[in-house]
Amino acid sequence: MKPPARNRPRAFTLVEIMVAITVFMLVMASIMACWKAIVTGTQTGETAAALAQRARTSMRAVEDSLNNLEISIPNIRYYSFIADTSDPQFASVSFAARLPASFLGSDYFGDLVMRRVTFDVEKDANNQLNLVMTQYPLLAISSDQHPPKSIVLARDVSAFVLEFWSPKEEDWLSEFLKTNEVPPMIRITLGTGHSPRDPNLPFNVIQRVVVPPVLAHL
């Protein structure tokens, strides 16, 4: 008579171990892919939010300076209003303004509140286009004590467009050639970033209409 068989522990076969490892690797790969997508999405969102916030701050600087614009016909050499829109995508503008202490960069100039302000789009070392604001004292253009101060406002600028209201045409014009006058209204369009669907289109667009003070027309 045969003795009863003993219950011996059954070991995993090599095939079962390989299948378990394969399943584990697939699960881990899925987890890592999901985690990477979350991290990438978060970074993209943070970058877009920072870009939009910087664009709003930049537009605020342009608005505030135009709202404090001044022009003096007897001293038009210093108070001239110069707008260059020869490039339909990237304009530049320069004018005199009486800027308050709260204006960006005012601490650099102290009591010199009358300054010439210039906004234009420039390339940086990485070949990226940025909106740059440059200021210098109105009557101290060549002063070594207060040299021009440039501040990068918006980065990765894809559009900086200026349009000028013409009462005669009752429409917005893309050109304003008079340097001893100021248009009654100025429409500013600032585009930053590039659309993922079309790299030729801005990712974020801000548009404002500024009415210069009456003093600017005297």
Q: Are 85 and 186 in contact (CB under 8 A)?
A: no
Token pair for 217:
């027309």
**SS3 category, 206:** strand
Distance between CA atoms of residues 186 and 114, nearest Å: 21
For the question of whether the overall pTM of this predicted structure is more than 0.85, the answer is no
Distance between CA atoms of residues 154 and 173, nearest Å: 25
Q: What is the pLDDT along the chain (218 residues), one digit of tens a residue?
A: 555 555 666 666 777 778 888 888 888 888 888 877 777 666 656 666 667 788 888 999 999 999 999 988 888 888 999 999 999 999 999 999 999 999 999 988 888 999 999 999 999 989 999 999 999 998 765 456 678 899 999 999 999 999 999 999 999 999 999 988 899 999 999 999 877 777 777 888 899 999 998 655 55
Of 101, 109, 108, 112, the C-alpha closest to 64 is 101
